[in-house]
Amino acid sequence: MTQVDLTPDCSRCAALCCAALAFDKGPKFGIDKPAGAPCPNLSSDARCTIHAGLADAGFGGCEAFTCHGAGQRITQEAFGGASWQDDPTLAAPMFSAFQDALRIHNLLLLLDEASKLPLPDPAQCAAFRAVLTPDGPMTTTWLRDTLASDISARVMAYLQTLRDVVART
């Protein structure tokens, strides 16, 4: 099974978190921004114009956020390096795929953390990771099919069974 790198690399992404996700104005975000709308602080070259002072500008949530590598996987693997900024027809499918990949990567992150525990059956954790890892590049079809299954619910149910293991560590 291929190990998925959950390290974000913003230089290989099309600023998906800055456009695909919603922000609610509050202590962590200086504005309300609906999902699918580019942040007004995003430049045309997919760079944040206030990155050096995010927290001071009221965007500490951006500073704390990580996609765990989902952004670059969607940009590079699913869309071959293309950007919604260069081709606006890609915006909706890229944003949707990014949100799906975030779900997958968050599940993988939870499973990675679980695998550090003294598991009663480590093979079960590995089996879930295998289901959440495509055999090749991540594609929108693979994402759709994987998330259409009950994998999210099964992983969460499995993780809940580890409460006793966590309590003993």
Structural tokens at position 154? 């099964």
Q: What is the pLDDT of residue 2?
A: 65
pLDDT tens digits along 4-62: 889 999 999 999 999 999 999 999 999 999 999 999 999 988 899 999 999 999 999 99
Domain boundaries in the chain? 10-168
CA distance 138 to 146: 11
pTM of the full structure? 0.93
Q: Evaluate if residue 1 carries a pLDDT over 60.
A: no
Q: What is the dihedral of CA 24, 67, 85, 57, to 10 degrees?
A: 40
**Which pLDDT does position 169 carry in this prediction?**
81
Whether residue 144 contacts residue 102, with contact meaning beta carbons closer than 8 Å, is answered with no
